[in-house]
Structure 1
Amino acid sequence: MKIDLHSHTLCSDGVLSPEGLIARAIEKGVDVLAITDHDTVAGLAPAQQAINAQQLPLQLINGVEISTGWQQLEIHIVGLNINPQCPQFLQRLASQQQARLVRAEEMARRLEKNQIPDVLPAVLALANGAALTRTHFARHLVSIGKASSMDGVFKKYLGRGKIGYVPNNWVEMADAIEWIHDAGGVAVLAHPLKYKLTTKWVKRLAEQFAAAGGDAIEVISPQQTPVQKRELWALCQLHGLTASVGSDFHQATTWNDIGKNLYLTDDVIPVWANWPLQGNAVTPA
């Protein structure tokens, strides 16, 4: 069974519609997929509708990825099996969306101060109602020739310490874990090796994530080495956590695709160990 528990649609900073993401997952032989857009659950209903309408052999896991603050760093927490209709949860996500807008306004102001005008209207149009992220800013700046690549934009304008960088104003990590639990879900520390932390700080992050009530660590992501996977699983064992897998899919690239290279060895306890996975069956509406 091929399982991918971390993916994005154009409801946040992915490039595919929810329906397009479902089609891609089917094409790549994925059996179980979690859609985990940034601070929004808007893509879940249309994705499930596409599965039901076409009777596709794919089980959808309701998910979200919440941007959080920890030690003045931005840390992402994935929520899996959340209730996307929970009123309290939706209100909390709305507060994150407002924080995203406030941050975007300040980013645009700083860029305009540095002779890059009219950024916010362009970014809002590009996002088209999606959760605003720095990726939208990067795509716009590439489109107007300020850099030749997304990486170039972050290195010159949007990375920490650059002219367009604005510190995050997200919910604290422990609070996000509580939000997820209150919505009936499990909390997963997303891609812990992407934060460019030293080994000491990754260990500290895992320890404090577990102490705050976290449930699992994303131990399998594309491009990780077998040694890195084993080290992350060792952290799970140390803190009584289970293991998750996720491509963090935004768009197909030469090094990443939905469901690519996601596998766990038999000695690893997966986050889905007690879930009612259905294999090649359509999830009930």
Structure 2
Amino acid sequence: MTLPKYDLHCHTTASDGSLAPAQLVERAAGQGVEVLAITDHDSVAGLDEASEAARSHGLVLVSGVELTALWGRQVVHLVGLGFDRHADSLQRYLVRLEDMRRERAERIAHKLQQRNLPDLLPDVTARAGAGQVGRPHFAAALVAAGVCENEQQAFKRYLGPGKVGDVKMPWPAMSEALEMLHGVGGLGVLAHPTKYRLTFTRLRSLLNDFVKAGGDGLEVSYSGIKPDHQREMHKIARRAELLLSAGSDFHHPGQVWVELGRFMPLEENGRHVLERLL
């Protein structure tokens, strides 16, 4: 099977992206993308708008979402693909995550205030709009308040791992997230595996547990992955009999190294997630 040009991991204003769903679809079409999955964090709120835009551009839209989950104490992200986005069980699951994100935002704001910083919650809520609130909204608010020079500095000082804004939450277990996705007809893909800052020994343990829990695929091409790591992900996916997936993890225009449709792994017949989805 010759695969069309695709992107199976990107974000809109329904979570922490800066383009509305219709705008992102238009941009993807302009980049020659033929199959697109919008995978907002813990939300499918942008998919109806995106579906209408995809029809007008002649682009195939695959239902997608990026779920926050836990492997032990480690936060991991699962890209769900090809599910019934109207299923009641999915909607209940996402409402639960939305409540948790709102609670986390309140706790982050409170912790930052305890460090004599201004109350950022009103600005953060306004920036999130109808979308899911996340730490990138706090980073933007810290820059707007003059506390930090840029968003990278905001994460380094206040929001990154081990910092005051790194608030731990009891996210659903990875196995529960996979079970839910399978229950609504979807596939579960482990997103950007080398971005969790795990040793390769720990990463192999994660992937072993992911496979045991019913995981379907592995992202092997995405922004920031090194060529040697990409080759290793291909080997691991082959040994574990995981489907291959890829996506830009696009959030904002202006970053040419994170452009829609740019990241596609080497094709291996019978082993790509698109062969299952299409």
TM-score by length of 2: 0.95
Comparing 97-106 and 145-154, the one that deviates more: 145-154
Shift of 1:267: 6.0
Question: Which residue identity does 2:157 align to in structure 1?
Answer: K
Question: Which residue identity does 1:127 align to in structure 2?
Answer: A
Map of 1:127-276 to 2, 5 A cutoff? Answer: 127-252=128-253, 253-266=255-268, 269-276=271-278
Question: Which residue identity does 1:261 align to in structure 2?
Answer: F
Whether the 8 Å contact between 1:158 and 1:164 is mirrored in structure 2 is: yes
1:109 and 1:232 map into 2 onto residues whose CA distance is 40
Q: 1:255 aligns to what SS in structure 2? A: helix
Question: Would you say 1:24 and 2:27 are equivalent positions?
Answer: yes
Deviations 1:1-23 (A, max 9, x none): 21110010000000000011001
Shift of 1:259: 0.8
Question: Would you say 1:13 and 2:35 are equivalent positions?
Answer: no
Structure 2: state its 5+ residue gaps.
none
Corresponding residue of 1:34:
37
Shift of 1:158: 0.7
Deviations 1:32-90 (A, max 9, x none): 000010111011000111222x2x12100001000011121110001000111001110
2:54 and 2:263 map into 1 onto residues whose CA distance is 24
Residues 1:129 and 1:274: Cα distance change in structure 2 (over 3 Å):
closer
2:54 and 2:268 map into 1 onto residues whose CA distance is 30
Shift of 1:108: 0.5
2:265 and 2:166 map into 1 onto residues whose CA distance is 36
1:268 and 1:195 map into 2 onto residues whose CA distance is 28
Shift of 1:235: 1.3
Structure 1: state its 5+ residue gaps.
277-285
Corresponding residue of 1:119:
120
Question: Which residue identity does 1:240 align to in structure 2?
Answer: E
Comparing 179-188 and 227-236, the one that deviates more: 227-236
1:160 and 1:38 map into 2 onto residues whose CA distance is 19
Question: Would you say 1:78 and 2:74 are equivalent positions?
Answer: no
Percent identical among aligned pairs is 39
Comparing 160-169 and 146-155, the one that deviates more: 160-169
Q: 1:33 aligns to what SS in structure 2? A: strand
1:203 and 1:142 map into 2 onto residues whose CA distance is 37
Corresponding residue of 1:94:
95
Q: 1:91 aligns to what SS in structure 2? A: helix
Question: Would you say 1:45 and 2:48 are equivalent positions?
Answer: yes
Comparing 67-76 and 220-229, the one that deviates more: 220-229
2:166 and 2:228 map into 1 onto residues whose CA distance is 33
Comparing 10-19 and 43-52, the one that deviates more: 43-52
Shift of 1:227: 2.1
- Poorly superposed stretches of 4+, deviation over 3 Å: 265-268
Corresponding residue of 1:103:
104
Shift of 1:225: 3.0
Shift of 1:161: 2.0
Greater RCO (Cα-Cα under 8 Å, separation 6 or more): 1
Whether the 8 Å contact between 2:6 and 2:33 is mirrored in structure 1 is: yes
Shift of 1:150: 1.3
Whether the 8 Å contact between 2:247 and 2:263 is mirrored in structure 1 is: no
Whether the 8 Å contact between 2:80 and 2:181 is mirrored in structure 1 is: yes
Whether the 8 Å contact between 1:103 and 1:169 is mirrored in structure 2 is: no
1:224 and 1:161 map into 2 onto residues whose CA distance is 23
TM-score by length of 1: 0.93
CA RMSD in angstroms comes to 1.3
